[in-house]
């Protein structure tokens, strides 16, 4: 989950200072980086007036791509959904294929990198700004984003590289390099791939690392006694413990990350979904009014928040920032899948925005509209995850605790996934050597501890802008590759329907 802190609805909770933080160091870094962060953010998140509403161009860029690929690929997000589920269940798993992890582990790793604090708190902020109608457009944006995700993950597998140790490396830096090299500009391809990789490394150390560790710290302090918690003034200790925990996982590479994600993602997803469904059921009497508010706000001509246009902007913004479709980061995890059919993993990736946005964000929306709205919780000073937590606590005083646990797991899982994304950007720049990889992992873990100790908002804003900046070249590459992806996916689906693609049972039966 990218926070998009510089735009409304991005940050879930504020970074909290601790007694152990170095004030002078904070101030020095803030003074040094803030002008650069502001300048880059003003460019990346530049807003234009659209029917009286400020519309960030980067959101429009991502939204147009989602609409285009959905129509260009013939609503692949619908017609490929069933096949995606069969792949995740291992129906077409080939144990002899190239790759390191299963289809399920790949989607679990990618989901762990997108499902985060924004799914809980960011949705509440989006509805507070855009009204209940934003929930409808959030759902629509999540549905459309599934097609963008398919394109980038298909390309991630198709143009991945195989390393001497049996591992694989893939992602936008590789297919963007190939895109320009195949068009007679290999140097420009390498330069563009390097730019993407460098931006990814910077982004992973900020938003994919420090922001996540800080949010994990906030949630842990919340559930362990608040200001009375032993860790309330010991962010450095929590940071070291969290860094050590993350280190144990990421030292094992993508296989270890995928194994952990395959356990954490279902648990935290089910935990949050069950809690949300229970709260919605407790407010079932307000469901008819809630749907009326959502649909009415989605198509309302005028309102305090700008009506339909305002709801569309906020809804799309929250959805696209949540599932990261168009950023290309998830294709790095999907590239490690064990398959010789790029389209198969593209289809599996359809499930990622579906889980992240269509399911989890929609449930968060319903919790807010069925509970917070009719009970006056929107009228106070609560915002973000505090508002969602208050909606849960309205029915059960202890409900914020499982919510905080889910948020803690969301932050942890996002960190381990982004460690792999950053690692692949790092190795693209500096090589696949073991010492090179260990150096990056050490740096990554150091930044985790740092995120719990000091407040570097300028660094986070700069890294946030860098991550969204890479959506520009990534989507350009997706457009250029669109005909190739269309042939790849449609051809694969036809072969599956003809029975030309062997199932796992058939492959296992053939093994002597």
Contact 69, 482 (CB under 8 A): yes
Sign of CA dihedral 97, 98, 103, 104: positive
Task: Give every residue of the chain whose pLDDT is below 50, as ranges.
Answer: 5-22, 302-305
Looking at domain 23-496, its CATH architecture is Up-down Bundle (1.20)
Instruction: Give phi and psi for 488, each to the nearest 5.
Output: -60, -50
Closest to 149 (Cα-Cα) out of 92, 78, 66, 73: 66
Print burial letters for 410-434: b (CB count within 10 Å at least 16), e (below 16): bbbbbbbbbbbbbbbbbbbbeebee
The pLDDT value given to residue 154 = 96
- CA dist list (Å): 260 to 268, 289, 429: 12, 41, 27
Beta pairing, strands 161-162 & 168-169: antiparallel
- CA dist list (Å): 118 to 159, 182, 216, 232: 31, 38, 13, 23
CA dist 231 and 465 (Å) reads: 31
Which conformational region is residue 170 in: left (phi greater than 0), alpha (psi within -120 to 50 degrees), or beta? beta
Instruction: Give phi and psi for 162, each to the nearest 5.
Output: -100, 125
The reply to whether the predicted model has a pTM over 0.85 is yes
The pLDDT value given to residue 305 = 46
Three-state DSSP class for 13? Answer: coil
Beta bridge pairs of residue 161: 169
CA dist 145 and 139 (Å) reads: 10
User: How many CA atoms are closer than 13 Å to the CA of 196, on its beta-carbon side?
Assistant: 30
Contact 395, 371 (CB under 8 A): yes
Per-domain boundaries in the chain:
23-496
The pLDDT value given to residue 351 = 93
Beta-carbon count within 10 A of 48 CB: 10
Alpha carbon dihedral 91, 96, 99, 100, in 10-degree steps, equals 80
The pLDDT value given to residue 429 = 95
CA dist 445 and 376 (Å) reads: 42
375-384 long-range contacts, CB within 8 A, separation 24+ = 378/128, 383/124, 383/125, 383/128, 384/11, 384/12, 384/13, 384/121, 384/122, 384/124, 384/125
- Measure CA of the first residue to CA of the last residue in the chain; give whole Å: 44
Sign of CA dihedral 77, 83, 89, 95: negative
What are the residues whose beta carbons fall under 8 Å from the beta carbon of 420, sequence distance 6 or more? 109, 250, 253, 254, 257, 332, 333
């Amino acid at each position: 989950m990218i926070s998009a802190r510089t735009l409304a609805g991005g940050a879930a909770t504020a970074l909290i200072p601790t007694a152990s933080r170095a004030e002078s160091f904070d101030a020095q870094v803030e003074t040094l980086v803030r002008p650069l962060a502001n300048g880059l953010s003003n460019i990346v998140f530049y807003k234009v007036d659209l029917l009286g509403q400020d519309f960030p161009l980067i959101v429009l860029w991502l939204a147009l791509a989602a609409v285009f690929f959905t129509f260009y690929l013939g609503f692949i997000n619908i017609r490929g959904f069933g096949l995606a589920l069969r792949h995740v269940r291992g129906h077409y798993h080939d144990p002899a294929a190239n790759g390191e992890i299963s289809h399920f582990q790949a989607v679990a790793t990618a989901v762990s990198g997108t499902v985060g604090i924004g799914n809980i708190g960011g949705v509440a902020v989006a509805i507070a700004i855009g009204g209940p109608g934003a929930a409808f457009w959030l759902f629509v944006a999540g549905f459309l984003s599934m097609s963008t995700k398919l394109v980038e993950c298909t390309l991630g597998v198709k143009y991945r590289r195989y390393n001497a140790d049996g591992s694989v490396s893939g992602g936008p830096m590789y297919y963007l390099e190939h895109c320009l090299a195949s068009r007679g500009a290999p140097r420009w391809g390498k330069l563009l791939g390097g730019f993407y990789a460098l931006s990814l490394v910077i982004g992973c150390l900020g938003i994919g690392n420090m922001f996540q560790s800080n949010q994990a710290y906030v949630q842990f302090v919340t559930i362990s006694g608040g200001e009375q918690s032993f860790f309330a003034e010991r962010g450095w200790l929590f940071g070291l413990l969290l860094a050590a925990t993350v280190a144990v996982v990421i030292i094992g590479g993508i296989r270890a990350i995928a194994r952990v994600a395959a356990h954490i993602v279902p648990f935290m997803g089910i935990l949050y979904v069950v809690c949300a469904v229970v709260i919605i059921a407790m407010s079932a009497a307000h469901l008819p009014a809630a749907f009326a508010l959502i649909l009415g706000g989605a198509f309302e001509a005028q309102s305090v928040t700008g009506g339909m246009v305002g709801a569309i902007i906020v809804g799309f913004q929250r959805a696209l920032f949540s599932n990261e479709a168009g950023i290309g980061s998830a294709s790095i995890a999907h590239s490690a899948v064990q398959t010789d059919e790029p389209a198969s993993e593209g289809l599996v990736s359809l499930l990622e925005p579906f889980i992240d946005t269509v399911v989890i964000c929609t449930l968060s929306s319903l919790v807010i509209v069925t509970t917070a709205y009719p009970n006056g919780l929107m009228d106070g000073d609560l915002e973000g995850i505090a508002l969602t937590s208050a909606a849960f606590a309205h029915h059960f005083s202890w409900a914020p605790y499982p919510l905080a646990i889910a948020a803690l797991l969301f932050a942890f899982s996002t960190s381990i996934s982004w460690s792999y994304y950053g690692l692949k950007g790092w190795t693209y720049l500096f090589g696949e050597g073991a010492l090179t990889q260990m150096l990056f992992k050490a740096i990554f873990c150091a930044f985790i501890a740092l995120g719990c100790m000091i407040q570097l908002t300028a660094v986070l804003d700069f890294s946030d802008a860098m991550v969204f900046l890479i959506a520009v070249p990534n989507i350009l590459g997706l457009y250029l590759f669109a005909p190739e992806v269309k042939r790849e996916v449609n051809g694969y689906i036809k072969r599956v329907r003809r029975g030309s693609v062997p199932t796992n049972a058939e492959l296992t039966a053939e093994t002597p």
